[in-house]
Amino acid sequence: MRIQLNGRPIETEANTLAELLQEQQIDASCVASAVDGEFVPRSRYDAQHITAGCQLEILSPMQGG
């Protein structure tokens, strides 16, 4: 299915946010995520389903000022 990941379209076979992170080789312990503009707590990554056309934002913390 096609989704938007950080503003770019991608094709994925993942059904959950956890599967997507693994597929994209993103360390789930180091990111914050939102699906369609709604923050998803890390404890829900396994249960958070993704659907065709959804918009995901995956952000890594940064230091600086």
The structure tokens listed for 27 are 């360390």
Q: What is the pLDDT of residue 62?
A: 73
How many domains does one find in the chain?
A: 1
Q: Where residue 16 sits, what CATH number does that domain have?
A: 3.10.20.30
Contact between residue 35 and residue 5 where contact means Cβ atoms under 8 Å apart: no
Q: Is 65 part of a structural domain of the chain?
A: no
Q: Is 64 part of a structural domain of the chain?
A: no
Q: What is the pLDDT of residue 65?
A: 62
- Express each pLDDT in 34-64 by its tens digit: 999 999 999 999 999 999 999 999 998 876 7
Overall average pLDDT of the 11-15 stretch? 97
| Owning domain of residue 55 | 2-59
